[in-house]
Structure 1
Amino acid sequence: MRPDPVPLSRVQRLALTSASFLFLVIATMALGPLISGSGWWWLCAFIAAGTLFSGLGFRAIRTPPSLVPVLELVVLLLMLTLLFGGATSFALIVPTQGTFETFGELIVGAQRTIEQQAVPAIPVPALSFGLALGVGLLAVLIDILVQTLRMPALAAAPALVPILIPGFIIEAGAELPTLVLTAAAYLLLLRIDVRVRRRATLASREEGDQAATVIAPKRVPIASTLGASLGLAAVGLLAASVLAASTPSISTSLLLGSPSRGTLFARGVSPFIDLGRDLRRPDARPAFHYLARDGDRPYFTLLTLDRFEGEVWSATERAVDGDNTVDAMPRPDGLSGRVDTSEHPIDVFVDEVSTTWLPVPYPTKRIDGLRGSWFWDDGALTVRSVDTNTDGQEYRVTRLDVEPTPAQLRSADRDLSEELAAYLALPEELPQVITDTAASVTSGAPSPYDAAVAIQAYLRGPDFDYSTQAPVEEGYDGGGFDVIAQFLETKAGYCVHFASTMAVLAREVGIPARISIGYTQGSPTEERVEGVQRVEVDSHDLHSWPELYFEGVGWVPFEPTPGRGLVPDYSRPGAGEEQGPNVPDPATSTPGASGRPELDPDRGLAGPSGDALANAQQLWIRGGATVLVVLLLLLLPAAFRTSQRLTRLGRVRRGERAADAAWDELVATARDLGAGGGDAETARAFAARISEREAFADDAAARSALLRLRDAVERERYGRAGVSPGPGLAEDLVAARTALLADARAAERARAVLMPRSLFDRARKALGDRPAAGA
């Protein structure tokens, strides 16, 4: 379809732009169920307004239509730089190489936050950037369809993008009121286009085949379009209702993945943690190192598993709460003021571990220095990101060291709240060996605390061995209750078996339990930084351990795995003034104990491992490529015009209608400079007008060259065939062009190079679009 040949006035274009803006921002409202708050929508409205109304401004100053979308993209880039470029930009809006690197990081972060968040998602900067970029590109596309190609009916295609996205993520899809409003805005756009087109046709004074068939009255009767509008409204509303009812969500469709994922904004770590496949890897990889004052050596938690469904332990899925920022974290659940606590700052430097879960001690009071958006989860106080990962992070964590006494643990209230019932849940039918072991080990324990100490001592006793091979050889690798039953009979396994067994035995005797996945305290080195010893944590230190709940103290870690980590003082048999029940002595924990698991955290727990240097290089390449593409687009008209001039000069030198080629180039130069040169103007009239310009009046040689070119083209066009135009035609052309350029201002010469009017006029003529005043 050809562009509409009827030119539009500025008021008519303003009406179409306003309707396009309204249509786009209402369609964007369909994303509301997916994103919390409303600030993101105002951001999208600002981007859409800046893009669309900048196009209106460019058309108002008669910018060639083919350049308007390019300039709109430039405006979009400037707005994104203003909002997201920060200190990397020049004068706040001019992007630099650092700006494009920042944009690349935001794009990667947007991809991560889509994968990691649950709905409604928090509009973190990376997600906001993705929304702004997407809406800006949709605005440019809608503007091309509505204003340049004059096919507004096709504007429904880009508007369907935000309309359809909710249907693939949530069961309900887009909200019906939003669909109805979008359909109404679309009909308004079509109606405005119809009225604008008719008014423009009535106002045009063209003659011939394209003359207006209706002459009077010069007004468009409302009844002429009312029937069509009502018909379109009925069709649009029906389509919106069908769309709302039939769009498949990811929970019922395999279009975007397994239905078990639930939503596109899924958690970044699989709830099912199977460590066995990585335990036998021999080579350790550095995870992170830390500097802890006062000899503080805590465990570092990544993820907490609290659901036991018979076959696997998993983490309860919770949507990220945007208010849970890590600059201030709450006091842990169940901890009363009677328990002694102290704060210890720890500086952590991530080496190679790449995960969306942050290694932090439990409990933590605050975290400073992180890049990206990080939030803590309720209850577990684990920390995860929605737009970045741990690659290259350096942060200070303020650990809250909880020091309960055995007396406080022993006197903990046994009446538990309903909220803790989930931490006692077990399958209805447990293997008998689990029930018998729990009853046997804890018999005679006067309190839940003494029962927990007895379970830990039993698992660390001489009957159990740490082994990474036995579970594979015997076929009971994993964490389900069948695995636990065989483990209790075989009595050989690794940290997963010991931790899950203690958690299940604790639940069986009425103690709320969960499992933490993370790292042990690591290995100290001889290096000191400002007098503080450096501690290295590698993949061999990855570990799992149970945490049990005691009212008034909260979640308390235990260490049932022999030869691993450190046994807390409060969990040793006989700790404190009061003696506990008779239980076996635990195996001694030694830092150099054999059998440390070889676990690669990049495979076992985290998302894909990343190479920071490679990512930086890719970001630089993408940014440079974007700049190069924009420059090429801006210089494309100049390249075409230069090629056209060289072709004409070649014809002049070869004698192929040389005078005609030289004259066409001279006239094209005048058009580019805004000096006239229309198709209706004869060569003699053009030469007479141009010769009066100052450059020709002061330069006799240039005036003579102009006249010789005029005479040559008249002879070639109107004289006898085969008449030679004479020598020196190329030199005359150069002299006349030089005078024309010298007579123009610098701005006119720059515009002649970057936006050659003769080239765009020729393109419009080829497309059948005749420029007219007011277009």
Structure 2
Amino acid sequence: MRAERLPLTRLQSLALSLASFLLLAVATMALGPLITGGGWWWLCAFMAAGTLGTGAALRALRTPPSLIAPLELLAVVVLLTMAFGGSSAFAFVVPTGDTFEVFRGLAEAAQRTIEQQSVPAIPVPALLFALAVGTGLLAIVMDLIVQTFRLPALAAAPALVPIVIPGLLIEAGAELGTVVLTAAAYLLLLRVDVRVRRNAELHNPDVGDDAPTVVAPRRVPIGSTLAASLGLATAGLLAASVLTIATPSVSSSFLLGTAQGTLFARGVSPYVDLGRDLRRPDPVPAFNYLADEGDRPYFTLLTIDRFEGEVWGATERAVDGDNTIERMPRPDGLAADVAGSEHPISIRVEQVRTTWLPVPYPTTSIQGLDGSWFWDDGSLNVRTVDSSTFGQTYEVTRLALDPTPQQLRGAGAPPAALADSLALPDDLPDVIRTTTEQVTAGAASPYDAAVLIQQYLRGPDFTYSVDAPVSEGYDGGGYDVIAEFLEKRAGYCVHFASTMAVMAREVGIPSRISVGYTSGTPSDERIGGTVRVDVDSHDLHAWPELYFQGVGWVQFEPTPGRGTVPSYSRPGAGEESLSGIPLGPSSTPGANGRPEGDPDRNLAGQAGGAASAASEWMRNGTLALVVLLLVTAPALVRSAQRQLRLRRVRGGPRPAGAAWDELVASAVDLGIPADARGTPRALAALVSGRAAFASPDAAAALVDLRDAVERERYGPDTGGDLPPAVARAGTPPAPASPLIDALGRVRSALAADAPPAERARATFLPRSLLAGARGGVGRRAPRDA
């Protein structure tokens, strides 16, 4: 009797490698809805072709099978070096220590970009590296399954990985067309395997006394396997379709971020909770910068422009991969006749860890950042998809604008595109409208109205306080809070900025709110005509920006005791007499402490909170569950098959046959070349020669099973439609309990005789499942054989 796995020719092995490549290349197309562009797929195809091609070449050279997988892994490293190693590699191919350091950095950045990006994600280098590594590993697994273990039916497991992932992240899951193509590629792999096996069998005929008496035709018939192959493919297609549709999608923030990501990630609280950071008893260093003496800009993190009545929010915009910081655009609405000058600033971030970069508005260039950074349309906010601000050192060139009051006063009507920046809820409280009318009465232009609103809020009737809104229950920025604030007249920057932004919209001026930092506190350090300025958590701030056609978005400062009032917004600007409102440098109010029970008490500079940890646990748990199901699926199917056979033994038809089928399957799982087409006596002779059956108990159990199945197969029928006299004269079927006991003893002996690695493989990659699949697509004996 011959071994089940027959040697393949080089051409046959190459055919299986090509079919495996096609299956993996098509399956990776399922990731298309998650990633922009198509260049990433060519990288995946390159990795799959290089890995599977290496395996095919090694087999052509008759390399021992045990060495192929390690050498394929080495090939993956070389391919990654070619794609990502760059100048760190020797001759661009041989990795060095620096190359692996590059890989480490890319792996860390890949985790960040998966957490921060929205769908569809931008294929930044870190994400491409993760895709390349994943494809290479899937290719090794598929090659092992198809070529080394000769279990191509299980190639569906690695192919399902890219099919399942979209279902976890987006509601629609993988596209149906891709699923159909993947099923077709899987069918082709099965067909190629069947043909390869048939040709191998025809070139390696069975010989000896135990050879089967049925001889297959010398030509491999296509029709004999087509129906079964189509059935397998249909079942696979239906299973994949149901899986991708039924898989509950995880909130995109768990795996690929959200459209905006966490507002300030770690280190800075969201807008409505900004006051908690201002109430810290001890300030936490944020960043420092070197600038020319007297150059004190504000630093914007995020711009908030959507007012929905109860809350302010940022318009959700996906990252545009074309908006790289190498070319920062000119600010919206800025005419050429507005005076401006460029000022270089060098920034070093200390304990702020966020995906939003602190930069002045507007900025014309940014250099020196690590990672992939992009600017948002309109706001010019800068954010990353694979890095963070922590530890960054970079240089910016800011454009300091100096519009004249005449230019602002002569601004035309705002463009229709800014309609959302004028939107107000219908149920705006009357106190807001009444106050706006009273404050802006007599204003000659929208600009004059804005100056009057700022002057009103900075006047002596209002008090800066980080505690009053909390103690009296009106903290936040919604219209009800603004109405209460106008009555109480005590709050901090959130209240002043929100109030001015809403009042500006009420008089027809587009408005938005910037959240970031004021200019900080100068230090005693002077370097080459520049001064180092320190910025900490007490410098967190929110301020309104108003739009004037021909000038664009300009900053105002309505919060008393905070920041600096721009020269163009001072009452009487451009005239000889100036108002006596506070014009001095930024002053930081004293911190009044935070409640001991505040869960965000030590937020700044720390590595995340409970929500971040929970989302990471859910993400990792979901992925671990998917991997566990894929790994244990063959074992679960095999266990279910065994239980069904034992059920037949206990009370079904032909119990001895069911017990013998389980014995044959157990032998195949353990690598014994058992052939279900052979006679029970031939298999018993093969098995009894193994060392474990030197035990009389194991040998007797094997003989009992053999005799029982022979009596059942070849003895007279004991029931059915036979006459009672014949039925009574026949040999009764073997009782269930002795059969199960005998089967258990034989299976234990087989397992004891196998090495641990073979037993583990029999559990997790049972060969009998493939043998059963081949039984459905294998040769059929003629009826008259």
TM over 0.5: yes
Tell me the equivalent position of 1:644: none
Tell me what 2:297 maps to.
Answer: 298
Ranges of 4+ aligned residues in structure 1 off by more than 4 Å: 208-216, 261-266, 270-273, 596-600, 602-610, 761-769
Whether 1:44 aligns to 2:44 is yes
User: Is contact 1:44-1:131 (8 Å) kept?
Assistant: yes
Q: Which amino acid aligns with 2:431?
A: V
Give the TM-score taking structure 2 as reference length: 0.72
Is 1:586 matched up with 2:584? no
Is the aligned partner of 1:390 residue 2:389?
Answer: yes
**Equivalent-residue separation in structure 2 for 1:224 and 1:521 (angstroms):** 80
* Aligned match of 1:114: 114
**Could you say which residue in structure 2 is the equivalent of 1:275?**
274
Q: Is the 8 A contact 1:288 1:349 kept in 2?
A: yes
Partner of 1:558: 556
**Other structure's SS at 1:180 match:** helix
| Match of residue 429 from structure 1 | 427
Q: CA deviation at 1:277?
A: 2.3
Query: Residues 462-508 of structure 1: CA distance to partner in whole angstroms, max 9, x if unpaired?
Result: 01111111111111111221211111111111111111111111112
Which residue identity is paired with 2:13? R
Corresponding residue for residue 16 of structure 1: 16
1:80 aligns to 2:41 (yes or no): no
Q: 2:405 matched to which residue of 1? A: 406
* Alignment partners' CA distance in 1, 2:757 and 2:517: 67
**Aligned-pair CA distance for 1:100:** 2.9
In structure 2, do the counterparts of structure 1 residues 67 and 606 end up closer, same or farther at CA, with 3 Å as the change threshold? farther
Task: Provide the residue aligned with 2:444 in structure 1.
Answer: 446
- Residues 119-138 of structure 1: pairs in structure 2 closer than 5 A: 119-138=119-138
Query: Which whole-Å CA distance do the structure 1 matches of 2:321 and 2:169 have between them?
Result: 20
User: Equivalent residues in 2 for 1:24-63 (5 A)?
Assistant: 24-63=24-63
CA contact (8 A) 2:186 2:233 kept: no
Q: Which residue of 1 aligns with 2:315?
A: 316
Distance in 1 separating the partners of 2:427 and 2:256: 28
The 5-angstrom pairing of residues 606-755 of structure 1 reads: 609=607
Distance 1:608 1:374, change over 3 A: farther
Say if 1:219 and 1:537 are closer, same or farther in 2 by CA, change over 3 A. Answer: same
Alignment partner of 1:478: what SS? Answer: coil
2:175 and 2:13 mapped to 1: Cα distance? 31
| Distance in 2, Cα, partners of 1:350 & 1:470 | 32
3-state DSSP class of the match of 2:290? strand
User: Cα gap change, 1:265/1:243 in structure 2, threshold over 3 Å: closer, same or farther?
Assistant: farther
CA distance, structure 1, for counterparts of residue 334 and residue 88 of structure 2: 45
Q: Structure 1's 399 and 514: CA in aligned 2 closer, same or farther, altered over 3 A?
A: same
> Helix, strand or coil for the counterpart of 2:71?
helix
- Counterpart Cα distance in 2 of 1:333 and 1:530: 34
Change (3 A) 1:572 1:605: farther
For 2:78, the aligned partner's letter is: L
* Residue 346 of structure 1 pairs with residue 340 of structure 2: no
Identical-residue share of aligned pairs (%): 66
Deviation of the 1:406 alpha carbon: 0.5
Aligned match of 1:746: none
Aligned to 1:491: 489
Corresponding residue number in structure 2 for 1:716: none
Distance 1:577 1:136 in 2: 71
Q: CA deviation at 1:211?
A: 5.0
User: Number of residues paired by the alignment?
Assistant: 608
Residue aligned with 2:185, SS? helix
How far apart, in 1, do the equivalents of 2:351 and 2:757 lie?
56
Note if contact 1:180-1:240 (Cα within 8 Å) is conserved in structure 2.
no
Determine the structure 1 residue equivalent to 2:673: none
Corresponding residue to 1:482 among 480, 483, 486: 480
Following superposition, the deviation at residue 265 of structure 1 comes to 6.4
Q: In structure 2, what residue type is equivalent to 1:137?
A: L
Give the deviation of 1:58 after TM superposition.
Answer: 2.0
Report the more deviating stretch, 454-463 or 113-122.
Answer: 113-122
Query: How many Å separate the matches in 2 of 1:322 and 1:22?
Result: 30
Q: Supply the distance in 1 between the matched residues of 2:397 and 2:82 (Cα, whole angstroms).
A: 35
- State the secondary structure of the residue aligned to 1:358: coil
Find the aligned partners of 1:544 and 1:488 in 2 and give their Cα distance. 18
Q: Partner residue of 1:549?
A: 547
Q: Is the 8 A contact 2:344 2:395 kept in 1?
A: yes
TM-aligned CA deviation for residue 585 of structure 1 = 5.0
Shift in Å, 1:13 = 0.9
Task: Determine the C-alpha separation between the residues in 2 that align with 1:98 and 1:541.
Answer: 40
Matched residue, 1:468: 466
Equivalent residue number for residue 510 of structure 1: 508
Match in the other structure for 1:183: 183
Greater shift in the superposed pair: 175-184 or 80-89: 80-89
Identify the residue that residue 330 of structure 2 maps to in structure 1: 331
Q: Relative to 1, partners in 2 of residues 1:183 and 1:588: Cα closer, same or farther, differing over 3 Å? A: same
> Match of 2:7?
7
CA distance in 2, matches of 1:460, 1:232: 76
Distance in 1 (CA, whole Å) between partners of 2:576 and 2:383 is: 41
Q: Which residue of 1 aligns with 2:454?
A: 456
Q: How far off is 1:336 after superposition?
A: 0.9
Distance change (3 Å), C-alpha of 1:157 and 1:174: same
Change (3 A) 1:400 1:590: closer
Contact 1:441 1:458 in 2 (8 A): yes
* Shift in Å, 1:352: 2.0
In structure 2, the residue matched to 1:194 is 194
1:68 aligns with 2:68: yes
Q: 1:563 touches 1:595 (CA, 8 Å); kept in 2?
A: no
1:767 & 1:328 partners in 2: Cα distance? 56
Given the superposition, is the C-alpha separation of residues 427 and 603 from structure 1 closer, same or farther in structure 2, using an over 3 Å criterion? Answer: farther
What do you get for the CA RMSD once the two structures are aligned? 3.1
- 2:351–2:604 CA contact under 8 A, matched in 1: no
Using the alignment, how far apart are the partners of 2:306 and 2:213 within structure 1? 76
Shift of 1:8: 1.4
Partner of 1:45: helix, strand, or coil? Answer: helix
Give the distance between the partners of 2:499 and 2:112, measured in 1 at CA: 34
Aligned ranges for residues 363-374 of structure 1 at < 5 Å?
Answer: 363-374=362-373
* Paired residue secondary structure (2:332): coil
Counterpart Cα distance in 1 of 2:34 and 2:365: 29
Give the match's secondary structure for 1:87. Answer: helix
Q: Residues 68 and 598 from structure 1, CA distance in 2 versus in 1: closer, same or farther, beyond 3 angstroms?
A: farther
Give, in angstroms, the shift of residue 238 of structure 1.
Answer: 3.7
**Cα separation, 2, equivalents of 1:534 and 1:401:** 19
Q: Which residue of 2 aligns with 1:646?
A: none
Greater CA drift, 571-580 or 390-399: 571-580
Q: 1:478 to 1:597 in 2, by over 3 A?
A: farther
Q: CA deviation at 1:124?
A: 0.2
Deviation by residue 1:128-169 (Cα, 9 ceiling, x = unmatched): 001111111111111111111111111111111111222222
Letter aligned with residue 439 of structure 1 = E
In structure 1, C-alpha distance between the alignment counterparts of 2:3 and 2:165, rounded to whole Å: 31
AA at the equivalent of 1:148: T
In the TM superposition, residue 530 of structure 1 has moved relative to its aligned partner by 2.5
The one-letter amino acid of 2:549's match is: E
How far apart are the structure 2 equivalents of 1:444 and 1:70? Answer: 82
Per the TM alignment, residue 579 of structure 1 is displaced from its structure 2 partner at its CA by 8.7
How far did 1:257 drift?
6.7
User: Deviation at 1:460?
Assistant: 0.5
CA contact (8 A) 2:153 2:190 kept: yes
Whole-Å separation in 2 of the counterparts to 1:49 and 1:210: 43
The alignment's TM-score, normalised by the length of structure 1, stands at 0.73
CA–CA separation in structure 1 for the residues paired with 2:213 and 2:108: 56
Shift in alpha-carbon separation, 1:293–1:278, aligned structure 2, 3 A? closer
Q: Secondary structure at the match of 2:302?
A: strand
Q: Secondary structure at the match of 2:33?
A: helix
5+ residue gaps, structure 1: 611-760, 770-775
